[in-house]
């Protein structure tokens, strides 16, 4: 059934299916191309008459996943330039004061969109929450340091989307003063960055960070080096005119090639800090939009009023090693090199990890080490700074794919959070017959947190309580304390 809603820009037509009405592809800013390319997001466009909002809007230009990741993650491409858009799911357009859940997608800041099937907001809307999923500019369009362009345009897009929510969500039944911002991977890193950004002050009251925290930004010097390398590969100047002269498709191809180059050359030290995160296009510290490393700002009190739910999966890094078939080729020297590069005491750390995982292969030890350094320890550090105003979880259920070797990998928890185990795309990462019981538990906790700020277990304090979601869901105090202590004073 068609449903129309009047917002500040005009009238939009959505579709009701059962208890949920969806509105797809609503622009929150003008298309960021032509004269608007590499500029801050504009004010929202308006229209006369009724605008259809029944299909997903355009997706931002992106480099795309390659096999084997492309066989696991679904990555829709919707053509068009009006890529700065949002989708809305609501239980009742005539309601008022419903809590709001805003989802920021992941994809290493170069991939992803709000059209991904497992970001469908229907289950949250079914449970009384208005859901908004956001697109933002990716790669160099969103994050490269470009002379003559505002910094961190992708983050400015996210702020613009949150302002759109503030100004329009009441028309869909939502409460603009009860907004929870959530995301996974680069989306969670974005949430941590938003918590630290002055321009995002007051736009949300709760935050959910899944497999990402406030650590993943780069320096302006590194961002400059990346932009100059990209410009050199294209034979243009690293400014608005130079990059703007390159067709979008060629611009994206050059970014893909530069990403491959960074990956190949990073172990030599040629790319400095990029050797640790392999993301050449991500937020950078510009002193204004992103004033400092987000976790430092958070530790100093930024966003102190925001309730936080944060956590990881148990074997995040398996996603990057197992499908590629390289986990079995990792040797002890590679594990030692990783620990040393991260700054921990190699001998001590190896002893602790071996004691924790006595039967692990070198590849499995490397998964544990990198999972901790990249994901788990940053989440713990953010929780520690919250003064008892954070809840911590860990997703432990293991995918059945790759004979179980994929484990509780990166991104595995998303269809459980969204209660979408019946989506065909879900089996591409879970394997057959994932447990609905775990989805029921996890989705309910997220709903409760959005509703009242408590997911149903104790806050992270002296006991370091962590809710483990898996075959045996329950709270564990200070899980893997010994490996956490490996990184004290290091990470």
Match 């490397």 to its residue by tokens: 366
Helix (H, G, I), strand (E, B) or coil at 476: strand
- C-alpha–C-alpha distance, residues 95 and 116, integer Å: 27
Q: Check: CB of residue 282 under 8 Å from CB of residue 218.
A: yes
Residue 397 is given by DSSP the state: P
Of 105, 216, 295, 410, the catalytic one is 410
Q: Check: CB of residue 193 under 8 Å from CB of residue 279.
A: no
265 is catalytic: no
Burial 128-156 (b: 16+ CB within 10 A, else e): bbbbbbbbbbbbbbbbbbbeebebbbbbb
Structure tokens at 337: 């090199």
* Closest to 223 (Cα-Cα) out of 161, 131, 297, 142: 142
Of 30, 82, 316, 413, the catalytic one is 316
Q: Check: CB of residue 416 under 8 Å from CB of residue 443.
A: yes
CA distances from 261 to 142, 173, 219, 358, 441 (A): 20, 48, 19, 36, 42
Distance of alpha carbon 291 from its chain centroid, rounded?
Answer: 20
410 is catalytic: yes
105 is catalytic: no
Q: Is 10 left (phi over 0), alpha (psi -120 to 50) or beta?
A: left
Residue 297 is given by DSSP the state: H
Counting Cα atoms < 13 Å in the Cβ hemisphere of 17 gives: 11
Structure tokens at 326: 């390289």
Residues in the chain: 491
Going by DSSP bridges, is the β-strand pair 10-17/465-469 parallel, antiparallel, or unpaired?
A: unpaired
Of 22, 113, 122, 185, the catalytic one is 185
* Closest to 146 (Cα-Cα) out of 239, 63, 22, 277: 239
- C-alpha–C-alpha distance, residues 394 and 315, integer Å: 10
- C-alpha–C-alpha distance, residues 351 and 413, integer Å: 30
Structure tokens at 314: 């148990």
* Closest to 191 (Cα-Cα) out of 103, 287, 100: 103
Active-site positions? Answer: 185, 316, 410
């Amino acid at each position: 059934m068609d449903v129309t809603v009047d917002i500040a820009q005009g009238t939009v037509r959505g579709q009701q299916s059962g208890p949920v009405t969806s509105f797809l592809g609503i622009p929150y800013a003008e298309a960021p191309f032509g004269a608007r390319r590499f500029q801050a997001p504009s004010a929202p466009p308006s229209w006369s008459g009724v605008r259809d909002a029944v299909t997903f809007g355009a997706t931002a230009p992106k480099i795309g996943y390659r096999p084997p990741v492309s066989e696991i993650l679904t990555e829709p491409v919707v053509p068009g330039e009006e890529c700065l858009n949002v989708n809305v799911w609501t239980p009742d357009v005539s309601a008022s004061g419903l809590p709001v859940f805003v989802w920021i997608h992941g994809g290493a800041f170069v991939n992803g969109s709000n059209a991904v099937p497992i970001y469908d907001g229907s289950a949250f809307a079914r449970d009384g929450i208005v859901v908004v999923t956001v697109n933002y500019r990716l790669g160099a369009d969103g994050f490269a340091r470009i002379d003559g362009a505002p910094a961190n345009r992708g983050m400015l897009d996210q702020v613009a989307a949150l302002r759109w929510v503030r100004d329009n969500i009441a028309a869909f039944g939502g409460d603009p003063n009860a907004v929870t911002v959530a995301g996974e991977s680069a989306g969670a890193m974005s949430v941590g960055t938003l918590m630290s950004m002055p321009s995002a002050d007051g736009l949300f009251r709760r935050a959910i960070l899944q497999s990402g925290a406030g650590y993943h930004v780069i320096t302006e010097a590194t961002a400059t080096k990346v932009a100059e390398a990209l410009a050199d590969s294209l034979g243009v100047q690293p400014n608005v005119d130079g990059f703007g002269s390159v067709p979008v498709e060629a611009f994206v191809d050059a970014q893909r090639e530069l990403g491959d180059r960074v990956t190949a050359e990073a172990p030599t030290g040629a790319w400095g800090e990029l050797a640790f995160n392999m993301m050449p296009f991500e937020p950078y510290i510009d002193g204004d939009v992103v004033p400092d490393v987000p976790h430092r700002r958070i530790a100093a009190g930024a966003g102190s009023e925001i309730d936080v739910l944060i956590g990881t999966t148990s074997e995040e890094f398996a996603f990057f090693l197992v499908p590629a078939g390289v986990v079995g080729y990792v040797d002890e020297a590679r594990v030692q090199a990783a620990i040393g590069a991260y700054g921990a005491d190699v001998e001590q750390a190896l002893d602790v990890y071996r004691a924790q995982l006595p039967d692990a292969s070198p590849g499995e030890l490397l998964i544990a080490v990198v999972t901790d350094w990249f994901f788990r320890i940053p989440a713990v550090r953010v929780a520690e700074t919250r003064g008892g105003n954070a809840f911590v979880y860990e997703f432990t259920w293991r995918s059945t794919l790759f004979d179980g070797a994929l484990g509780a990998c990166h991104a595995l928890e998303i269809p459980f959070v969204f209660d979408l185990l019946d989506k065909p795309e879900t089996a591409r990462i879970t394997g057959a017959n994932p447990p609905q019981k775990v989805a029921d538990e996890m989705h309910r906790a997220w709903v409760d947190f959005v509703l009242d700020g408590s997911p149903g277990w104790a806050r992270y304090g002296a006991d370091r309580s962590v809710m483990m979601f898996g075959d045996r869901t329950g709270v564990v105090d200070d899980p893997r304390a010994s490996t956490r202590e490996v990184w004290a004073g290091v990470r």
